Chains A and B, each alone.
With several copies, the nearest count.
Chain A
Amino acid sequence: MKILYFAHFREKTNVAEEDVELPAGLTDVNSLIDWLASRDDGFADAFRDRDHIRVAVNQEHVEFDTLIEGATEVAFFPPMTGG
């Protein structure tokens, strides 16, 4: 699965984009966040405050209870500030 990190997620994790093999048992975005946060201090810091995490699965903005099975692209970013 491809995972993308934008804005301060990229800065804190030091990763812009990666291809990962997910461990068994990850079902939804919530469990993916838990797993990512456990990887190292940078990831823990980036994923600490769930209120400020936004996620897109296959380029659609979704809620954390969205299932990720079969998803090809997941992206994490802070609340949007366009316009």
Chain B
Amino acid sequence: MSVRVQLEDFDAGAEIAKISATNTNVGGVCSFVGLVREFDEGSAITAMTLEHYPGMTEKQLAKIEAEAHERWPLEDSLIIHRYGRMEPGEQIVLVVTASAHRKAAFEACEFLIDWLKTQAPFWKSEETPDGAKWVDAKAADDEAADKWKK
């Protein structure tokens, strides 16, 4: 169970392999990698810069990860979220969840990424041909996060 907020890229495969090798009670490892797309809602993007709130970010990520472990029988988990400038095709975020059962791994992974989209203190600024633009929060992301409310 760990959280990393970092400038550098990460090796998703190595992280997933490490978690798979953790213990032989793990029957399924679900992972999600979020990447910078070349187009967002139709407009071309040359790069994206992620700003965050150092201190709060790590604290809130650790808290939501602990909540995922309370809600699902997870054997292990990992969240890596980058900040700084990234170009299309670059990795932004990795969420990995490991459980004896696949349903728990899938649900916890989706819960964490839905939460990150709406509740982690990150803000995206996109570089477009028309200049830099702060990305607006999406109603669809709020709805996705709402479905996990108890």
Contacts and interface: CB of A to CB of B under 8 A. Distances in A.
Nearest to B138: A81
A61 B119 contact: yes
A14 to B, nearest CB: 16
Looking at chain A's contact residues, the main secondary structure is loop
Contacts of B124: 81-82
Interface in B111-146: 113, 116-125, 134-138, 141
B34 interface: yes
Looking at chain B's contact residues, the main secondary structure is mixed
A80 B121 contact: yes
A61 B121 CA distance: 9
Contacts of B123: 6-7, 77-78, 80-82
Interface residues of A, number: 15
A79 B136 CA distance: 8
Interface in B41-64: 50-53, 55-56, 59-60
Contacts of B59: 59
B53 A56 contact: yes
Interface string A26-46: 000000000000000000000
A79 B137 CA distance: 6
A6 B53 CA distance: 8
B137 A7 contact: no
Nearest to B135: A81
A61 B56 CA distance: 9
A33 B114 CA distance: 29
Contacts of A7: 51, 123, 125, 134
A82 B53 contact: no
A4 interface: yes
Contacts of A79: 118, 136-137
B134 A83 contact: no
A56 B120 CA distance: 11
Interface of A: 4, 6-8, 56, 59, 61, 75, 77-83
